Amino acid sequence: MASSEKPGLLISFGGNALNVAEAPPSHQKEEFAVARKSLQGVIALLKAGYGTLALCHGNGPQVGQIFLQQELTRHDFPRQITLDVCVADSQGRIGYILQNTLDNLCREQGMNKRALAVITQVLVDADDPAFKKPTKPIGLFYSKAEADALVRDRGWVMMEDAGRGYRRVVASPAPREIIEIDGFREILSKGIILIGGGGGGVPVVRTEDGGLSGVEAVIDKDFTSALIARELKLDWLVILTGVDRVYRNFNSGDAVPIDHATADEMELLLAAGEFAEGSMKPKVAAAIQFLRAGGKRAVIAHLNDLVAAVQGKVGTHIVLE
């Protein structure tokens, strides 16, 4: 679904696109400043003629902050917020910041372009085996000693995350359906920048009467991004993260960068256990899913390299064959 000769893009931002390192939660102005920096590439693409853009974002740090706030106030406010509502909270917070910032940037550049953030529900299977094996990292990074204490004191499941520390992991079922997908199509048809699927979407299951009910899980936003891009028939899936590209033997002395690859080549590396669970593995798997369903190109690159990545100068570029 491209409005010009330029490909339609779904750009999937990691949760750190808005995260203010070591800042108190009250520093909202700093979050807007970080968003403004992260979105400069989107503005550059709009100016270059990329008219069909959808954005998805992670929420790991923000959900971690919500959980931390609950822990610190549990004696004053004993009612705990369920994980699906935490995801919705983060969608509203991040969606507002991205929407407001994009609108202001477009106005400043004299562009007649607006953004619209949508609270997004994503259907999952109640019998998904992920509910029995938590793997999705959320929240802040902890040292080994801190992680051991959290396991002992709070019963959390903790996992080492690509050499960066330990994080809490929760169930991460596969996304099956985007409940608001028809609204997404309407938004893009009007030339509006879509912001949807934040944090992987609010996980819901079908009830016996056909309704929807939230569940305790966090869906990987890269798989949700791939599903949205497929459903909207967008051409490219661009996954922005904290590293400049995909590597073989990552976090070792002989790491080998992967600049270009086919889906088959990446699938072989995936099957060989080359990529870390909860880190690069879902990004590569999502890219392969997108391409096998008709996508033209998947790109994995650093958050600050969006324009150069779309131009083919940096990042890992994966095509079907």
127-172 pLDDT, tens digit each: 999 998 888 777 778 899 999 998 998 788 899 987 889 988 888 9
**Residue 144: enclosing H or E segment and its boundaries?**
helix 144-154
**Which of 133, 224, 129 is closest to 184 using CA atoms?**
224
Query: Strand 260-262 and strand 115-117: pairing?
Result: unpaired
Residue 163 to residue 271: CA distance in whole angstroms: 21
- In this prediction, the residues of the chain whose per-residue pLDDT falls under 70 are 1-4, 16-28, 71, 74, 78-79, 278
SS3 73: coil
End-to-end CA distance of the chain: 22
- pLDDT attached to residue 237: 98
What's the burial of 52, exposed, middle or buried (CB within 10 Å: 0-12/13-18/19+)? buried
Cα separation, 105 vs 99, whole angstroms: 10
pLDDT digits (tens, 9 = 90+) for 242-254: 899 999 988 777 8
CA angle 231, 236, 237 (to 5 degrees): 75
Considering the entire predicted model, what is its pTM?
A: 0.88
Catalytic residues: 15-16, 136, 221, 283
Closest CA to 54 of 93, 9, 118: 9
CA distance 138 to 66: 11
Specify which residues 228 forms β-bridges with: none
**Tokens standing for residue 241:** 């993260």
Q: What is the pLDDT of residue 1?
A: 46
Which CATH number is correct for 9-121+174-319, 1.20.120.160, 3.40.630.40, 3.30.365.10, 3.40.1160.10? 3.40.1160.10
> Can you give the C-alpha Rg of the chain in angstroms?
19
Q: Which residues have CB under 8 Å from 182's CB, separation 6+?
A: none
The predicted pLDDT at position 318 comes to: 98
Q: Which two tokens stand for residue 176?
A: 């099956």
